[in-house]
A and B are shown apart, each in its own frame.
Chain A
Amino acid sequence: MKLDRRSFLQTSVGTGAFVLAGAGIGSGIGTTTQFVVRPPGAKQGSEFLRSCIRCFQCGLMCPNMAIKPMGLKNGLAAIFTPHINPREQACMLCMKCGEVCPTDALEKIHSDYDSIQSKVKMGQAEVDPSVCYSYNGRLCGVCYDACPFPEEALKLKLFAQPEVDTDKCVGCGLCERACIHIPEAIRIYPSEKSVTNS
Chain B
Amino acid sequence: MLQIARRLTQALSLLFVILVPFLAYLNTLRQAYGIKGFHIANMSGGPVVGKFYAVYERTFGLLDEPVPLIDSVKGSFWSFTIFGFNISDPLAAIDFVLASKSIHGPLLASILIPVALTMILGRAFCGWVCPINTLTELLDRARSGLARILPGIPNINLGSKTKHWVLVGTVIIVVVAGIPLFSTYLPYVILGRELHNMFLFQAVGAGAYLLLILALFEFFISRRGWCRYLCPSGAMLSLIGSRSVVHITKPGSAKCLESCRECDRLCPMGLDVRNGSPGIDCTNCGDCLTVCPQGLLSYTYGFNRKSPVYTAAVVVALALILSTPASAHHMGGIPHYGYTENYPQVPLTEQSADVGDWIVSVTTIFFQGISQDLSSIPYDTQLYIHIRDRNATYSTSTASFKDPFNKGEISKTDNTDSGTSSYTGKILLTISDYQNNKLVSYSLKAPSEESIYRFRHYFKREGDYRVMVGFFPKGQLEEILFAVTIKTPGNSIWPIALGSSVVICSTLFLLYRKQKTTKYRKRKTKMLEVNP
Interface residues of A (CB under 8 A from B): 1, 11, 14-15, 18-19, 22-23, 25-27, 30, 46-47, 49-57, 59-65, 68-69, 71-72, 76-77, 79-80, 85, 87-89, 92, 94-96, 99-100, 102-104, 108, 111, 126-131, 133, 135-137, 157, 161, 163-164, 177, 182-184, 187, 189
Contact = CB atoms under 8 A, between A and B. Distances in A.
B78 A96 contact: no
A112 B334 CA distance: 13
B75 A131 contact: no
B74 interface: yes
Given A49-B179, A161-B396, 5 more contacts: A63-B27, A76-B184, A103-B104, A130-B388, A135-B419
A187 B404 contact: yes
A22 B172 contact: yes
B108 to A, nearest CB: 10
Interface string B376-402: 000000101010100010111110011
Contact of B92 (A53, A64, A71, A137): A53
Interface of B: 20-21, 24-25, 27-28, 31-32, 67, 71, 74-76, 78-81, 86, 88, 92, 95-96, 99-102, 104, 106-107, 110, 161, 165, 168-170, 172-173, 176-181, 183-184, 189, 192-193, 196-197, 200-201, 205-206, 327, 329-331, 334-336, 338, 340, 343, 345-347, 350, 361, 363, 365, 382, 384, 386, 388, 392, 394-398, 401-402, 404, 407, 418-419, 421-422, 450-452
Given A65-B200, A182-B365, A50 B179 contact: yes
A135 B386 contact: no
Contacts of B102: 51
Contacts of B396: 127, 129, 135, 157, 161, 163
Contacts of B336: 63-64, 92
A60 B74 contact: yes
Nearest to A28: B177
Contact of B329 (A23, A77, A99, A127): A99
Given A64-B28, A129-B394, A183 B20 contact: no
A52 B178 CA distance: 11
10 contacts: A19-B173, A25-B173, A26-B177, A60-B21, A60-B75, A63-B334, A77-B179, A102-B107, A108-B327, A163-B398
B200 A102 contact: no
A129 B392 CA distance: 10
A136 B450 contact: yes
B402 A126 contact: yes
Given A22-B169, A57-B74, A71-B205, A51 B99 contact: yes
Contact of A126 (B177, B180, B401): B401
List 4 tightest A-B contacts by C-beta distance, closest first. Answer: A26-B177, A22-B173, A55-B79, A50-B100
B386 A18 contact: no
A135 B417 CA distance: 10
A177 B528 CA distance: 78
A76 B185 CA distance: 12
